[in-house]
Amino acid sequence: MPIMRRPATVRKAGPYKCESLANGQILVTPTWPQFPPYTDEEGGGPGVFSRMALAGELARWLNAIYLKTDA
């Protein structure tokens, strides 16, 4: 079975901070080094489409071994 390589979006948004929450969820927070840090006054950080793209790529990458393949 081929292994899915880590997508460029996932590489560029890291390193990541991961926390285990009491309710069983895991919170994954990218550092987004290519964007200025977010502040309430200045804004900053990645836009909504960048965040959505990363979430989708991360989910596909993590779930790749569980997806059915024709091989």
Per-residue pLDDT tens over the stretch 45-68: 999 999 999 999 999 998 887 766
Q: How many residues does the chain have?
A: 71
Tokens of 50: 């960048």
Residue 2 placed within a domain: no
Neighbouring-strand partners of residue 19: 27
Q: How many structural domains are present in the chain?
A: 1
The whole domain housing 43 covers 8-66
Q: Can you give the pLDDT at residue 22?
A: 98
Residue 3 placed within a domain: no
Residue 36 placed within a domain: yes
Residue 48 placed within a domain: yes
Residue 28 placed within a domain: yes
Q: pTM here?
A: 0.79
Residue 56 placed within a domain: yes
Yes or no: say if 30 and 14 are a contact pair by the CB < 8 Å rule: yes
Mode of pairing for the β-strands spanning 16-20 and 26-30: antiparallel
Residue 38 placed within a domain: yes
Confidence band of 70 (pLDDT split at 50, 70, 90): low
Residue 52 placed within a domain: yes
